[in-house]
Amino acid sequence: MVLPESAFDRARRGAGQLFAVTRPAGAERTRYLIQAAELARTHGFAVTWVGCRADAPAFWPWQAILAGLGGDASVLDADPGASARKVLEVLAAAPALVLIDDADLAGEETLQLTRAVAASVHHLPVVLVVVTSGTRLVDQAHAALAEGRITDARDLLDQAAREGDPEAALGLPGMWVNKFRGRTDRALAIARLRDALATNPAEPLRTRLAVRLEAEHAYDRRETECVLQALEQARNCGDQLTLAEALSLAHHALWSPEHTAARLALTGELIAVASAAGLELLALSGLCRRTMDLFCLGDPHAERSQVELARRASGHPGVLFFHAAMDVMRTIRAGRFAEAEEKASACLRLGLGAGDVDAETFHSSHLFAIRWLQGRGGELVDLAEQVTHSPTLPDLEFSFEAAHALLALEAGQRDRARSALHRLTINGLTAVPLSSTWITCMFCVVHVAAALGEAEIAREAYGLLEPFASQPVVPATAIVCFGSTELLLGIAATTFGDEDLATGHLERAVTTNIRLGNRPMTAYARATLARTAGGETGRELFEVAIADATEMGMTARAVAWARERDGLAGRISIRRESAWWIVSRHGKEIRVEDLVGMRYLARLVADPGVEIAALELVGGEDSGNQPVLDLVARAAYLTRIRDLRARIDDDPSPRLEAELEELLSHLERETGMGGRGRNFAGPAERARTAVRKAIRRAIDAIAVTEPSAADALRDAVTTGYRCSYQPVGS
């Protein structure tokens, strides 16, 4: 078949491709290569076509390839790495089709140099075609994977599938399901499995294909029976490779929290079967998954398993990527955030290099965990929203939508958080499918529901989470750990009003997090328990949480917890958060709209015992008072009143009496106490009145939600020309 034109379009954009052609020598193969060369020339590609031979010098035919592309063939030396760099410089210059014929005859130096070039071809304007006579493309793909060249292996399998090899439909060894996230690519992968089965291949390939197809369906539909039946079929097949693949696929299809213990049993069998059959990659994959399962169960042997994984995974970038992701999780769990962030970046590079579809989403998960624990999650709210629209996310993945809600809440964007939460829960939490990340999704849901006072959502989450109380909040890939699920149960119980139930869960959350070695979540659980406990116990818990958070660099959380600690003593704190004011007392927080009086209260509460001029609160200057009625006018009014009284004594007419009454009323209105002249109110007087009224309105607004806090403010706040906040007992 002729090379696809898309290969040349991609190469022209600097994303070249490798094609391995396995065809017997002869006219048909020659015709294929001629057609490929003609197609390349129509696309404006330079073409160099060279064959290998057994008696050729070292690195042949790369000398001829360089010469054909206008390069210097003499630059090649004894070092394959140095030679590869020189070849890549020439290949990067212009679009080219490189045909290497009879690669079976190439020497070891040529093979090393060709592999080095092939590893970088995806960043070059080059289509590289390697032609051999015997080895199947599927076998070449497996060999490439064993050398850590995952992208090359995928390309080889893709070509093998296009050429009709039914085994290529199985995909790469290691057997993960749902590795094609785009709908088109995934549909093609499923179609290839069906087409391969339709050819009625011999056993054990038929069973291998059937198990793979059932595992994909099980993952999509969140059904387990079909894949477990397929696993039994594999057991009865009598082929070790078929059974090892089936165990691996069943494990991945059961990646929701209710199956964690069952998955652990599957990995034990997978390691035993694959090791006995000499299936190194499947055995290593089993060890990797066993490590994840142990972390998901909070098993103390998880770290030991990870050490063994690191020792055995050398040379397998795909497995090393998962090891690196778990190592980031452990570093976050230890509270070493700067180091964790560096490791997360290194993990991303490793995953991209390995060609893993989850590399970027793993990195986002690491960053979200770090920033949220630091109390800086609001910085990433826009990134979280972007990730929710990523085409590489599985269709049943909802944890990033939940993370978007949580980080919006951290940013003070409550409407945005509420909108995201309601999108997620529109059909109830039972409609959110149990998946590999379900428990981390619930972590976000519970926190957002608590902050927004969504008691019914919290109650539903409690019921769904209760069966997993003994497990930590760890997704199936073990890339983050948010401590004990008991914490979520405690927060949910607090939200729907059962304080006694909440206290028990939160106490167990603290002790479990200590056992897990999760320092940030231990501090977080202590602070959460402190709010529920209140009083001196609450203050002591806050003190420990604040000290630990400060040591770990969780500065924003430490500051917030210090405010809450002070509030436990009855002292009120008021702070601005976006368009709202947050009033804290006795560990409880309420939100008040942005009233002018809240600004005055916040200033007074921030400096207890300090008198502040009302004029200073409103930001004005005193220019003194001005009399309403000057002395001349006052004297004239009094003279006329005396005159009217004398005339009425002589002639008490209604007209004169009405005028006298009007003058007396007017003079009374403009006269102060004791007959003193009344003054116009100056800035100080206006400030006194304005501050008093504004503070009264603000306290009334607080009283709507928290009457006790309002009463405490009425008792402690004094208004007048000078205002102050003097809490009782201070």
β-strands 573-577, 126-132: how paired?
unpaired
- The answer on pLDDT for 628 being more than 70 is no
Model confidence pLDDT, tens digit, residues 421-449: 999 998 999 988 888 899 999 999 999 99
- The answer on pLDDT for 678 being more than 70 is no
Q: Which of 143-147, 249-253, 322-326, 382-386 has the lowest mean pLDDT?
A: 143-147
Mean pLDDT of the chain: 87
Model confidence pLDDT, tens digit, residues 313-352: 887 888 999 999 999 999 999 999 999 999 999 999 999 8
| pLDDT of amino acid 384 | 85
- pLDDT winner (highest mean) among 434-443, 624-633, 657-666: 434-443
| pLDDT of amino acid 293 | 97
Position 219 confidence tier, pLDDT thresholds 50, 70, 90: confident
- The answer on pLDDT for 405 being more than 90 is yes
- The answer on pLDDT for 452 being more than 50 is yes
393 vs 478, higher pLDDT: 478
Position 673 confidence tier, pLDDT thresholds 50, 70, 90: very low
Q: Which residues of 546-578 are buried (b: 16+ CB within 10 A; e: fewer)?
A: bebbbebbbebbbebbbbbbbbbebbbbbbeee
Position 627 confidence tier, pLDDT thresholds 50, 70, 90: low
For residues 658-667, average pLDDT: 72
Angle separating helix axes 519-533 and 535-552, nearest 10 degrees:
160
- The answer on pLDDT for 56 being more than 90 is no
Which two three-digit tokens encode residue 51?
A: 């064959």
CB-based contacts of 152, cutoff 8 Å, min separation 6: 18, 118, 119, 141, 144
For residues 660-685, average pLDDT: 62
Long-range Cβ contacts of 669-675 (<8 Å, 24+ apart): 670/628, 670/629, 671/629
**Cis (ω within 30 of 0) for the bond into 61?**
yes
Position 391 confidence tier, pLDDT thresholds 50, 70, 90: low
Model confidence pLDDT, tens digit, residues 109-124: 888 888 888 888 888 9
What global pTM score does this model have?
0.66
CB-based contacts of 511, cutoff 8 Å, min separation 6: none
| pLDDT of amino acid 187 | 84
What's the start-to-end Cα distance of the chain, in Å? 88
- The answer on pLDDT for 221 being more than 90 is no
User: Is the separation of the CB atoms in 252 and 175 below 8 Å?
Assistant: yes
